Amino acid sequence: MRCPFCGYPNTRVQDSRTIENGLVIRRRRECPSCGARFTTYERFEGGNFMVVKKDGRREKFQRGKLMNGIVKACEKRPISMEKIEEMVNAIEARAQKLGNELPTSSIGEMVMKELRKLDQIAYVRFASVYRDFRDIDQFIEEIGKLKGER
């Protein structure tokens, strides 16, 4: 692999280990030219399905979009990136099992279900964007539902 710092074409693997239940390989690398160390991740490239948007458009599933939405909802919350990665992996795996095309609403509901179990603040943040809350009453209603579950 090419060094991202100096461009040297042949870096050395210092350490390899599997993470996320064997679904990902984490590699520590070192560049013999500049001595820089960095980490790479090798994972199965999922997302071999299409998502159907609200307006009917279809686009290839993008793991990064899913990850960004969840990370935004979890900002400044005590949720580790490992937990977020696990959640994204679980949602992506579940979505792939459901077929070649999946509406974005199904993915959104999966995210909300996972966030609801993980962190109520992150859940309400995500729900407010996903369900397009327009006023404070919608927030109060959603919070009321959460309180009723306790």
35-61 pLDDT, tens digit each: 999 999 887 766 578 999 999 999 999
pLDDT value at position 89?
85
d(CA 48, CA 99): 10
Q: Would the pLDDT of 13 be above 90?
A: yes
What's the chain's average pLDDT?
Answer: 90
For the record, the structure tokens of 76 come out as 């400044």
For the record, the structure tokens of 40 come out as 């790479």
d(CA 126, CA 99): 25
Radius of gyration of the chain (CA): 19
Phi-psi region of 62 (alpha: psi -120 to 50; beta: other; left: phi over 0): beta
Mean pLDDT confidence for 85-93: 88
pTM: 0.70
d(CA 59, CA 51): 6
Q: Would the pLDDT of 122 be above 80?
A: yes
128-150 pLDDT, tens digit each: 998 888 888 988 988 888 888 76
The mean-pLDDT minimum among 43-52, 64-73, 119-128 falls in 43-52
Q: Tell me the residue type at 63.
A: R
